[in-house]
Amino acid sequence: MDRWTTEFAKGRERHEIFRGVSCPFVTFVFQVFPANRYEGTCMPSRRSQKGYDFGSLSYAVIGACLDVQRQLGVHCMEVDYQRALAVALAKRDLFAQREVEIPIVYDGVLVTKRRVDFVISSDSDELILETKARSSILPEDVEQCLLYLHQGGYRLCLRVTFGEKPLGVRRFVHTPPQTGSTTA
Q: Output b/e per residue, 11-29; b: 16+ Cβ within 10 A.
A: eeeeeeeeeeeeeeebbbb
pLDDT digits (tens, 9 = 90+) for 6-53: 444 444 444 443 344 444 333 333 343 443 443 333 344 445 555 555
Write the CB contacts of 174 (distance below 8 Å, at least 6 apart in sequence): 25, 26, 149, 150, 153, 154, 155, 156, 157
Long-range contacts: 95-100, Cβ < 8 Å, 24+?
95/120, 95/121, 95/122, 96/120, 96/121, 96/129
User: What stretch of H or E contains 17?
Assistant: helix 3-17
Asked if the 23-174 domain carries CATH number 3.40.1350, the reply is yes
pLDDT digits (tens, 9 = 90+) for 126-139: 899 999 998 888 88
Q: Quick one: average pLDDT of 59-88?
A: 93
Q: What is the pLDDT of residue 136?
A: 82
**CA dist., res. 137 & res. 130, Å (int):** 11
The closest of 161, 115, 156 to 138, measured between CA atoms, is: 161
Question: What confidence category does residue 88 fall into, taking pLDDT thresholds of 50, 70 and 90?
Answer: very high
Domain ranges of the chain: 23-174
Using an 8 Å Cβ cutoff, are 122 and 57 in contact?
Answer: yes
